[in-house]
Amino acid sequence: MQYHTPVLVKEVVAALKTTTATAIMDVTLGDGGHSLALLEAMREDAWVLGMDQDEDAIKRAQARLAGYGNRFRAIQGNFGNLVSHVAALGVKEVDGILADLGVSHLQLNEARKGFSFMTSGPLDMRMNKNLAMTAETAVNELSENELADIIRAYGEERQVKQIVRAIVSHRKISRIKTTDQLAAIVQSAIRQKDAVKSLARVFQSLRIFTNKELDSLRQFLPQAVNLLKSSGRLVIISYHSLEDRIVKDFFRQEANPCICPKDFPRCVCGLEPRLKIIGKLVRPSEDEVFRIRTARSARMRIAEKVQA
Protein backbone atom coordinates (compact mmCIF):
# COMPACT_ATOMS: atom_id res chain seq x y z
CA MET A 1 0.00 0.00 0.00
CA GLN A 2 1.31 3.46 -0.96
CA TYR A 3 0.91 5.94 1.94
CA HIS A 4 1.08 9.72 2.24
CA THR A 5 4.68 10.81 2.93
CA PRO A 6 4.63 12.98 6.06
CA VAL A 7 6.81 16.10 6.27
CA LEU A 8 9.11 17.34 9.05
CA VAL A 9 8.82 14.01 10.90
CA LYS A 10 12.03 14.33 12.96
CA GLU A 11 11.12 17.90 13.88
CA VAL A 12 7.57 16.91 14.96
CA VAL A 13 8.88 14.05 17.11
CA ALA A 14 11.34 16.40 18.84
CA ALA A 15 8.87 19.27 19.24
CA LEU A 16 6.29 17.06 20.95
CA LYS A 17 8.77 15.95 23.65
CA THR A 18 8.03 12.32 22.85
CA THR A 19 10.52 10.85 25.32
CA THR A 20 8.41 12.06 28.26
CA ALA A 21 4.92 12.54 26.75
CA THR A 22 2.33 9.91 27.68
CA ALA A 23 -0.61 11.13 25.57
CA ILE A 24 -0.55 12.87 22.19
CA MET A 25 -3.36 13.78 19.81
CA ASP A 26 -2.79 13.76 16.07
CA VAL A 27 -5.85 15.69 14.87
CA THR A 28 -5.00 15.28 11.17
CA LEU A 29 -4.31 11.57 11.18
CA GLY A 30 -4.29 11.09 7.38
CA ASP A 31 -2.42 7.86 6.67
CA GLY A 32 -0.96 7.87 10.16
CA GLY A 33 2.64 8.59 9.14
CA HIS A 34 3.24 11.13 11.91
CA SER A 35 1.33 8.98 14.42
CA LEU A 36 3.52 6.01 13.52
CA ALA A 37 6.69 8.03 14.17
CA LEU A 38 5.26 9.33 17.46
CA LEU A 39 4.32 5.83 18.66
CA GLU A 40 7.81 4.59 17.80
CA ALA A 41 9.44 7.44 19.73
CA MET A 42 7.15 7.37 22.79
CA ARG A 43 7.37 5.05 25.81
CA GLU A 44 5.71 1.62 25.67
CA ASP A 45 2.88 2.79 27.95
CA ALA A 46 2.23 6.05 26.03
CA TRP A 47 -0.62 6.45 23.55
CA VAL A 48 -1.69 8.42 20.49
CA LEU A 49 -5.27 9.41 19.71
CA GLY A 50 -5.80 10.10 16.01
CA MET A 51 -8.59 12.16 14.51
CA ASP A 52 -9.58 12.85 10.91
CA GLN A 53 -12.76 14.03 9.28
CA ASP A 54 -12.26 11.64 6.36
CA GLU A 55 -13.58 8.17 7.19
CA ASP A 56 -11.36 6.57 4.51
CA ALA A 57 -8.27 8.02 6.23
CA ILE A 58 -9.44 6.63 9.59
CA LYS A 59 -9.85 3.13 8.12
CA ARG A 60 -6.43 3.16 6.41
CA ALA A 61 -4.61 4.47 9.50
CA GLN A 62 -6.40 2.00 11.79
CA ALA A 63 -5.28 -0.89 9.60
CA ARG A 64 -1.73 0.47 9.37
CA LEU A 65 -1.33 1.06 13.12
CA ALA A 66 -3.28 -1.98 14.37
CA GLY A 67 -0.02 -3.52 15.62
CA TYR A 68 0.20 -0.88 18.37
CA GLY A 69 -2.90 -2.34 20.07
CA ASN A 70 -4.48 -0.08 22.67
CA ARG A 71 -1.63 2.46 22.37
CA PHE A 72 -3.44 3.82 19.30
CA ARG A 73 -7.08 4.82 18.82
CA ALA A 74 -8.73 6.82 16.04
CA ILE A 75 -11.93 8.80 15.84
CA GLN A 76 -13.69 10.43 12.92
CA GLY A 77 -14.43 14.10 13.46
CA ASN A 78 -13.62 17.69 12.61
CA PHE A 79 -10.90 19.22 14.78
CA GLY A 80 -13.06 22.35 14.92
CA ASN A 81 -15.16 20.34 17.43
CA LEU A 82 -12.13 18.90 19.22
CA VAL A 83 -13.35 19.28 22.80
CA SER A 84 -16.70 17.57 22.32
CA HIS A 85 -15.07 14.63 20.50
CA VAL A 86 -12.45 13.99 23.17
CA ALA A 87 -14.87 14.61 26.04
CA ALA A 88 -17.03 11.79 24.65
CA LEU A 89 -13.98 9.50 25.05
CA GLY A 90 -13.27 10.68 28.59
CA VAL A 91 -9.94 12.30 27.61
CA LYS A 92 -9.38 15.38 29.80
CA GLU A 93 -5.86 16.50 28.87
CA VAL A 94 -2.92 15.54 26.69
CA ASP A 95 0.81 16.31 26.54
CA GLY A 96 0.87 17.26 22.90
CA ILE A 97 -1.30 18.04 19.89
CA LEU A 98 -0.25 17.87 16.24
CA ALA A 99 -2.15 19.37 13.31
CA ASP A 100 -0.67 18.77 9.84
CA LEU A 101 -3.17 20.78 7.82
CA GLY A 102 -4.49 20.35 4.29
CA VAL A 103 -5.04 17.16 2.32
CA SER A 104 -3.07 13.93 2.02
CA HIS A 105 -1.53 12.69 -1.23
CA LEU A 106 -4.06 9.86 -1.24
CA GLN A 107 -7.00 12.23 -1.02
CA LEU A 108 -5.49 14.31 -3.84
CA ASN A 109 -4.94 11.32 -6.07
CA GLU A 110 -8.29 9.67 -5.46
CA ALA A 111 -10.32 10.76 -8.49
CA ARG A 112 -13.73 10.21 -6.86
CA LYS A 113 -12.93 12.83 -4.17
CA GLY A 114 -12.55 15.46 -6.87
CA PHE A 115 -9.64 17.41 -5.30
CA SER A 116 -7.28 17.33 -8.25
CA PHE A 117 -7.23 18.83 -11.72
CA MET A 118 -4.84 16.00 -12.69
CA THR A 119 -7.46 13.26 -12.32
CA SER A 120 -10.94 13.10 -13.77
CA GLY A 121 -13.72 12.84 -11.19
CA PRO A 122 -16.86 14.42 -9.76
CA LEU A 123 -16.38 18.02 -8.58
CA ASP A 124 -16.85 17.05 -4.93
CA MET A 125 -13.85 18.07 -2.73
CA ARG A 126 -15.54 17.26 0.59
CA MET A 127 -13.18 15.63 3.09
CA ASN A 128 -16.27 14.65 5.07
CA LYS A 129 -19.09 13.23 2.97
CA ASN A 130 -21.68 14.59 5.43
CA LEU A 131 -20.96 18.20 4.50
CA ALA A 132 -23.90 19.72 2.64
CA MET A 133 -22.03 21.76 0.02
CA THR A 134 -19.78 20.26 -2.65
CA ALA A 135 -17.41 22.18 -4.91
CA GLU A 136 -19.92 21.49 -7.70
CA THR A 137 -22.60 23.43 -5.80
CA ALA A 138 -20.19 26.30 -5.19
CA VAL A 139 -19.05 26.52 -8.82
CA ASN A 140 -22.58 26.36 -10.23
CA GLU A 141 -24.67 28.21 -7.67
CA LEU A 142 -22.61 30.99 -6.08
CA SER A 143 -22.77 34.45 -7.60
CA GLU A 144 -19.99 35.70 -9.86
CA ASN A 145 -18.75 38.01 -7.07
CA GLU A 146 -18.79 35.28 -4.44
CA LEU A 147 -16.77 32.96 -6.67
CA ALA A 148 -14.28 35.72 -7.44
CA ASP A 149 -13.85 36.46 -3.72
CA ILE A 150 -13.18 32.78 -2.95
CA ILE A 151 -10.61 32.33 -5.72
CA ARG A 152 -8.89 35.61 -4.85
CA ALA A 153 -8.83 35.06 -1.07
CA TYR A 154 -8.12 31.34 -0.80
CA GLY A 155 -6.18 30.85 -4.04
CA GLU A 156 -4.33 34.19 -4.21
CA GLU A 157 -4.89 33.94 -7.97
CA ARG A 158 -4.48 37.05 -10.13
CA GLN A 159 -6.44 36.14 -13.27
CA VAL A 160 -9.67 35.88 -11.28
CA LYS A 161 -11.92 37.95 -13.53
CA GLN A 162 -11.16 35.93 -16.67
CA ILE A 163 -11.58 32.64 -14.81
CA VAL A 164 -14.90 33.53 -13.19
CA ARG A 165 -16.28 34.99 -16.40
CA ALA A 166 -15.48 31.73 -18.21
CA ILE A 167 -17.10 29.65 -15.44
CA VAL A 168 -20.26 31.76 -15.42
CA SER A 169 -20.70 31.75 -19.19
CA HIS A 170 -20.17 27.99 -19.30
CA ARG A 171 -22.62 27.20 -16.51
CA LYS A 172 -25.36 29.19 -18.28
CA ILE A 173 -25.26 26.51 -20.98
CA SER A 174 -24.67 23.42 -18.85
CA ARG A 175 -23.84 22.55 -15.24
CA ILE A 176 -20.13 22.01 -14.47
CA LYS A 177 -19.95 18.58 -12.87
CA THR A 178 -16.42 17.21 -13.17
CA THR A 179 -12.85 18.19 -12.34
CA ASP A 180 -11.74 17.95 -15.96
CA GLN A 181 -14.64 20.14 -17.15
CA LEU A 182 -13.63 22.82 -14.64
CA ALA A 183 -9.94 22.43 -15.52
CA ALA A 184 -10.68 22.89 -19.24
CA ILE A 185 -12.79 26.00 -18.56
CA VAL A 186 -10.09 27.57 -16.37
CA GLN A 187 -7.39 26.71 -18.90
CA SER A 188 -9.36 28.27 -21.74
CA ALA A 189 -9.50 31.57 -19.84
CA ILE A 190 -5.87 32.11 -18.79
CA ARG A 191 -2.36 32.53 -20.16
CA GLN A 192 -1.09 29.05 -21.00
CA LYS A 193 2.30 29.56 -19.39
CA ASP A 194 0.55 30.07 -16.02
CA ALA A 195 -1.93 27.23 -16.50
CA VAL A 196 -0.69 24.69 -13.94
CA LYS A 197 -0.18 27.25 -11.17
CA SER A 198 -3.56 28.86 -11.80
CA LEU A 199 -5.32 25.49 -11.88
CA ALA A 200 -3.68 24.56 -8.58
CA ARG A 201 -4.79 27.86 -7.02
CA VAL A 202 -8.40 27.59 -8.25
CA PHE A 203 -8.74 24.00 -7.03
CA GLN A 204 -7.11 24.86 -3.69
CA SER A 205 -9.45 27.81 -3.16
CA LEU A 206 -12.54 25.68 -3.81
CA ARG A 207 -11.24 22.98 -1.45
CA ILE A 208 -10.61 25.48 1.35
CA PHE A 209 -14.06 26.98 0.84
CA THR A 210 -15.94 23.67 0.56
CA ASN A 211 -14.40 22.29 3.75
CA LYS A 212 -14.51 25.62 5.66
CA GLU A 213 -10.86 24.93 6.45
CA LEU A 214 -10.00 28.32 7.94
CA ASP A 215 -13.11 28.39 10.17
CA SER A 216 -12.23 24.94 11.54
CA LEU A 217 -8.67 26.07 12.23
CA ARG A 218 -9.86 29.18 14.11
CA GLN A 219 -12.27 27.08 16.20
CA PHE A 220 -9.63 24.43 16.87
CA LEU A 221 -6.79 26.58 18.24
CA PRO A 222 -8.33 27.77 21.56
CA GLN A 223 -9.79 24.30 22.19
CA ALA A 224 -6.34 22.77 21.68
CA VAL A 225 -4.85 25.08 24.32
CA ASN A 226 -7.61 24.09 26.76
CA LEU A 227 -6.89 20.40 26.18
CA LEU A 228 -3.14 20.67 26.79
CA LYS A 229 -1.53 19.95 30.15
CA SER A 230 0.78 22.64 31.55
CA SER A 231 4.02 22.52 29.52
CA GLY A 232 2.19 20.55 26.80
CA ARG A 233 3.09 21.40 23.21
CA LEU A 234 0.96 22.45 20.24
CA VAL A 235 2.55 21.85 16.83
CA ILE A 236 0.94 23.10 13.63
CA ILE A 237 2.17 22.48 10.09
CA SER A 238 0.47 24.67 7.50
CA TYR A 239 0.83 24.84 3.72
CA HIS A 240 -0.86 28.12 2.90
CA SER A 241 -0.09 31.68 3.98
CA LEU A 242 -3.66 32.26 5.23
CA GLU A 243 -3.48 29.22 7.53
CA ASP A 244 -0.03 30.19 8.74
CA ARG A 245 -1.16 33.74 9.50
CA ILE A 246 -4.06 32.45 11.62
CA VAL A 247 -1.66 30.24 13.60
CA LYS A 248 0.99 32.95 13.95
CA ASP A 249 -1.53 35.58 15.13
CA PHE A 250 -3.13 33.15 17.58
CA PHE A 251 0.22 32.14 19.10
CA ARG A 252 1.27 35.80 19.44
CA GLN A 253 -2.03 36.79 21.00
CA GLU A 254 -1.93 33.92 23.51
CA ALA A 255 1.72 34.62 24.34
CA ASN A 256 1.10 38.32 24.88
CA PRO A 257 -2.58 38.94 25.66
CA CYS A 258 -2.09 42.10 27.77
CA ILE A 259 -4.27 44.97 26.49
CA CYS A 260 -2.95 47.66 28.86
CA PRO A 261 -1.79 50.90 27.19
CA LYS A 262 1.97 50.85 26.50
CA ASP A 263 2.63 53.74 28.92
CA PHE A 264 1.07 51.94 31.95
CA PRO A 265 3.81 51.17 34.49
CA ARG A 266 2.38 47.70 35.11
CA CYS A 267 -0.30 45.38 33.75
CA VAL A 268 -3.78 45.97 35.18
CA CYS A 269 -5.88 44.07 32.62
CA GLY A 270 -5.16 40.75 34.31
CA LEU A 271 -4.85 38.83 31.04
CA GLU A 272 -2.17 36.19 31.53
CA PRO A 273 -0.25 34.44 28.72
CA ARG A 274 -1.51 30.91 28.05
CA LEU A 275 1.20 30.02 25.53
CA LYS A 276 4.93 30.47 25.09
CA ILE A 277 6.23 30.46 21.52
CA ILE A 278 8.99 27.87 21.07
CA GLY A 279 11.71 28.71 18.55
CA LYS A 280 11.23 30.20 15.12
CA LEU A 281 9.19 29.08 12.14
CA VAL A 282 10.50 25.66 11.02
CA ARG A 283 10.87 24.95 7.28
CA PRO A 284 11.84 21.65 5.64
CA SER A 285 15.45 21.23 4.55
CA GLU A 286 16.39 21.50 0.86
CA ASP A 287 16.88 17.76 0.87
CA GLU A 288 13.36 17.15 2.19
CA VAL A 289 11.86 19.53 -0.38
CA PHE A 290 13.78 17.66 -3.08
CA ARG A 291 12.38 14.32 -1.86
CA ILE A 292 8.80 15.46 -1.09
CA ARG A 293 7.41 17.98 -3.56
CA THR A 294 4.58 19.19 -1.28
CA ALA A 295 7.07 19.91 1.54
CA ARG A 296 8.18 23.10 -0.19
CA SER A 297 5.27 25.11 1.24
CA ALA A 298 5.28 23.51 4.72
CA ARG A 299 5.77 25.81 7.71
CA MET A 300 5.77 24.48 11.27
CA ARG A 301 5.07 26.52 14.40
CA ILE A 302 5.45 25.30 17.98
CA ALA A 303 3.97 26.69 21.19
CA GLU A 304 3.96 25.45 24.78
CA LYS A 305 1.20 25.86 27.34
CA VAL A 306 2.33 28.09 30.15
CA GLN A 307 2.15 26.81 33.74
CA ALA A 308 -1.23 27.94 35.13
Ligand X SMILES: C[S@@+](CC[C@H](N)C(=O)[O-])C[C@H]1O[C@@H](n2cnc3c(N)ncnc32)[C@H](O)[C@@H]1O
Out of 48, 65, 80, 136, the only residue in the binding site for ligand X (CB under 6 A) is: 80
In Å, how far are 28, 247, 277 from 255, measured between CA atoms? 24, 12, 7
* 299 in Cβ contact with 237 (< 8 Å): yes
By beta-carbon proximity to ligand X, the closer residue of 125 and 185 is: 125
58 interacts with ligand X by CB under 6 A: no
251 lines the binding site for ligand X (CB under 6 A): no
In the bound complex, what is the minimum distance in angstroms from residue 209's beta carbon to ligand X?
13
Piece in contact with ligand X (CB under 6 A), picked from 48-56, 151-159, 222-230, 250-258: 48-56
The runs of H, that is alpha helices, within 115-212 are: 135-141, 144-155, 160-173, 179-189, 195-210
* Helices of type H across 45-159: 55-64, 82-89, 105-109, 135-141, 144-155
Q: Does the protein bind ligand X through residue 288 (CB under 6 A)?
A: no
What are phi and psi for residue 269, nearest 5 degrees? -75, -20
User: Does residue 243 interact with ligand X by CB under 6 A?
Assistant: no
From residue 182, alpha-carbon distances to 53, 114, 163, 174, 252 in Å are 26, 11, 10, 12, 39
The four Cα atoms 217, 223, 227, 232 give a dihedral, to 10 degrees, of: 50
From the CB of 192, what's the least distance to ligand X, in Å?
30
50 binds ligand X (CB under 6 A): no
Q: In which element (H, E) is residue 237 found?
A: strand 228-238
By CB under 6 A, residue 303 contacts ligand X: no
114 binds ligand X (CB under 6 A): no
Q: Could you tell me which stretch among 73-81, 167-175, 182-190, 297-305 binds ligand X (CB under 6 A)?
A: 73-81
| Residue least distant from ligand X (Cβ) | 30
Nearest approach in angstroms of CB 104 to ligand X is 4
Chain residues binding ligand X by CB under 6 A are 4, 6, 27-28, 30-34, 51-54, 57, 78-80, 100, 102-104, 127, 216
